[in-house]
A = this chain, B = another copy of it.
């Protein structure tokens, strides 16, 4: 059984010196990878330059990506050649389209006309007091995983911030169905810190509460191995 894991957070460029990053230390993905390596599995980790990574290991292959586009390109062939995908990466929802100063935005009669523009300058000028950045939605890669490989076991991750348990679980269940995932690891950023990582592993018939990264890594590994 070949295990594919994503970790870290993608980065989308605004121009050649600025970009938008989705935060993720990669710590949980690293721990999940290590847990599978300890059990003797072959692990492929798709991650980012800034993310924490496991030490070199003969059964570990690491691929580095930056943007959502590079993630998609790297992930598609890997999804087709693996049995399990544990998709813990924080993937950017939006990517920059065009940035300009506020006065230029005020001058246009139709805002949609700015959505087809691109910045030709390498570094956007920093003269004006206000800038406006237009962003467009990125493709939801998690929704493509079962299309790329219908046989793969998919474990998705859902991170919300400061929500009630009911909302968190409801969003997780929705993602479970929509993406045909076996499990969704649902967590709330306000309940994650150095000591704890509060989360729920949600499946169609179960919901298990977890309190630390080590517990999460162990349970995901056991669920995959036992197929229970």
Contacts and interface: CB of A to CB of B under 8 A. Distances in A.
Interface of A: 11, 14-23, 50, 90, 92-94, 97, 102, 105-106, 111, 115, 122-123, 126, 128-137, 159-162, 189-190
A22 B18 contact: yes
A134 B159 CA distance: 24
Nearest to A138: B126
Given A23-B17, A122-B161, A132-B135, A106 B102 contact: no
B23 A18 contact: yes
Contacts of A123: 159-161, 189
A19 B18 contact: no
Nearest to A136: B130
Contacts of A22: 17-18
20 contacts: A11-B21, A16-B189, A17-B23, A18-B23, A18-B92, A21-B21, A93-B126, A97-B130, A102-B115, A106-B111, A115-B130, A122-B161, A122-B162, A123-B160, A130-B134, A130-B137, A131-B135, A132-B132, A132-B135, A133-B135
B20 A18 contact: yes
- Closest 6 A/B residue pairs (Cβ): A122-B161, A93-B126, A123-B161, A133-B133, A122-B162, A131-B135
Given A17-B90, A18-B21, A115-B130, 7 more contacts: A17-B159, A18-B22, A19-B23, A20-B20, A123-B160, A130-B136, A133-B135
A68 to B, nearest CB: 12
